[in-house]
Amino acid sequence: MAKPDNRADNVERIQFNINHTIANFNEAEEYLAEHADEITPQDRQAIEAKNERRLQSLQSFREEIRDEAKHREQS
């Protein structure tokens, strides 16, 4: 039997993930600012690509929060 859909902590979980992703993004940006001349172009590109994916994740998280808000309004 399937477990019932418990969405009680979804907003908090999503917000935690948003905060964590923003912190990682900022840490990577600071690292690049301080060490750009010490790392290989490939490493720099990898960090920049990872941050692009983080920005995409943030957009997805924001959409999830909107979905959760709609679900709470309907409940």
- The stretches in the chain having pLDDT less than 50 are none
Task: Specify if 64 maps to a domain.
Answer: yes
Query: What percent of the chain stands above pLDDT 90?
Result: 73
Give the model's pLDDT for residue 59: 97
Give the model's pLDDT for residue 70: 86
Residues 6+ apart with CB under 8 A from 72: 11
Q: How many domains does the chain have?
A: 1
Would the pTM of this model clear 0.85, i.e. be above it? no
Give the model's pLDDT for residue 16: 96
Task: Specify if 63 maps to a domain.
Answer: yes
Cβ neighbours around 61 below 10 Å, total: 19
What string of DSSP letters covers 10-51? HHHHHHHHHHHHHHHHHHHHHHHHHHGGGS-HHHHHHHHHHH
Domain span holding position 67? 41-75
Task: Specify if 6 maps to a domain.
Answer: no
